[in-house]
Amino acid sequence: MQKELKDNGLGNVEEQMTTNPIAARHRRFNLIDFAFLCTSFAIASWCLLTGGVLGTFLPANHLMSACIIGVCMGTVIACFSVQGCTKYGLDQYVLLRAPFGINGVRFPVTLTIVIGLGWNTIILIMLASGCVTIVDAIYPLDESTKPILLRVFGFLGVLITFLISQTGPLGMKILTRITTPLLLFIMFVMFYMLFTKVGIDKIFSTAPGSPWLDPKISYFLGIELLFGLAMGWWPFLGALGRLANNNRAYYWGFWIGNGVIFGLMAIVGGISGLIFNTFNPPDWMIPLGGFFLGLVCLGFLALANISSTVIQVYPCAMASKQFDSMSSKSWRFLLFLCCIPMALVATIIPELYYEHCPSILAFCATFFAPMCGICIADLVFLRKKEIDVKSLYCKAKGSKFYYWKGINWIAIFTSVAGFLFYLWFLNPITLEYGETSPFPILLNATVPTVAFTCVLYTVLTKLITIPAKKGGFK
């Protein structure tokens, strides 16, 4: 009876709540199940936001192809780097102990927390902006009241996120079951409105409001930003990928859910952003949907935003457990710590921070493209996908992944070199391509960075790590 309760069609639930490996025999997510799981993870308010960012500087035909190309390519590269999670049923942070070391894994963990919370704050400000728009539509506000309300709603958003996150995966599951259909509803309504109210001719003839001088630069920057978003999936791929019962489900599931379906959804936000020249969804929902429908969609979007922030803050708090000083702290305390920076930004500089949303997208690629390159070199090319799982869990000096006092300094050095290499191509803050970058712009910034870190890590490992008999390479 107890066995039946544990294994209720979704695999052993208790195993999935720990960082212990899940053997393939205990996993129940086949290709279709896994594609649905990835779709519900990918479809969130960030679809409208990221598409909207592209809509401000790309015409319709370019933004459509940029949405699909960028996110699909990035997703496949990111999936390729951590395929070991599916092979052994490992949590990503456990798998990353192989390239970064037992203690060095805190480096990618820290980056994950920073980017995760940074992205969450954007979503919270979008939530606050939507709430201000709703209040303004019902009871017109004067301009001096709006910034105050924006901060109040931002703070309330953090508070609600903190309260719901405490319920853990159960709360997320219930929330996504409600919000995913609501978001799909918003997408279809807005898609219908775009083609009936605006019309296909106007969509394809509208010029973007803030294009770069060179249309080629606009186009490749669009692809690059969606690449950045796909790189932003990277820290979460392992947590989901270990539930897929084989790598066919893993690759195709992510490709369909996080790639194609996400891309299609981003197109809706993108076209709206193009027509209304703003990447902020609350700004175009009432003009597009009309007063009543617009308000309903804004209400749904607010709920979806809460769902997105809960989904993101949960892995950030989980990741913080990788630090010894945090592992014994209560779950509530970890969530509280994660919520503090979000509350500070949402109440002090919401407008300034929200304006730089495209930079957050670019920063995802800046940080995670080098990580992908290192994982591909270490786990796929050097270890040939064969990992000593026991050593991943052994924190003693004798572990193969102890390297130098628990840290693989080669991986850390390569990561930093990768960040600098990316910055050589593209400045994530100004979104300007470097004039001195060595390759033509057609190559974008993410792919060369992944390739560079992959080669650098392989060379340094063969020159230093393997001769020093560290890392358990054969």
Partner 1 sequence: MNDTDTLDPELLKQIEESECDAGRTETITLSEAIILFVITFVIFPLLGYLSY
Among 110, 166, 246, 277, binds partner 1 (CB under 8 A): 246
81 counts as binding partner 1 under rule CB under 8 A: no
Residue 63's alpha-carbon distances to 135, 201, 218, 224, in angstroms, are: 32, 16, 10, 12
Closer residue to partner 1 (CB): 153 or 402: 402
Smallest distance from the beta carbon of 326 to partner 1, in angstroms?
21
Smallest distance from the beta carbon of 217 to partner 1, in angstroms?
12
- Site residues for partner 1, window 330-359 (CB under 8 A)? none
389 counts as binding partner 1 under rule CB under 8 A: yes
**Token digits for 418?**
């990768």
Site size toward partner 1 (CB under 8 A) is: 42
Among 223, 243, 304, 318, binds partner 1 (CB under 8 A): 223
* Residue among 361, 63, 354, 385 at smallest CA distance from 227: 361
Phi, psi dihedral angles at 57 (to 5 degrees): -135, 5
Smallest distance from the beta carbon of 268 to partner 1, in angstroms?
18
Cα separation, 111 vs 310, whole angstroms = 18
Q: Of 13-21, 118-126, 281-289, 316-324, which part binds partner 1 (CB under 8 A)?
A: 13-21
465 counts as binding partner 1 under rule CB under 8 A: no
Q: Of 21-29, 111-119, 328-336, 459-467, which part binds partner 1 (CB under 8 A)?
A: 21-29
Among 7, 13, 20, 277, binds partner 1 (CB under 8 A): 20
Among 64, 164, 298, 407, binds partner 1 (CB under 8 A): 64
277 counts as binding partner 1 under rule CB under 8 A: no
- Binding mask 44-63 toward partner 1 (x if CB under 8 A, else -) reads -----------------xx-
Among 7, 13, 69, 209, binds partner 1 (CB under 8 A): 69
Q: Is 196 exposed, middle or buried (0-12, 13-18, 19+ CB in 10 A)?
A: exposed
Closer residue to partner 1 (CB): 356 or 395: 395
* Residue among 462, 287, 438 at smallest CA distance from 383: 462
Smallest distance from the beta carbon of 87 to partner 1, in angstroms?
5
Among 41, 212, 255, 401, binds partner 1 (CB under 8 A): 255
- Binding mask 296-335 toward partner 1 (x if CB under 8 A, else -) reads ----------------------------------------
Contact positions vs partner 1 (CB under 8 A): 15, 20-26, 61-62, 64-66, 68-69, 72-73, 76, 86-90, 219, 223, 245-248, 251-252, 255, 259, 389-391, 393-394, 396-399
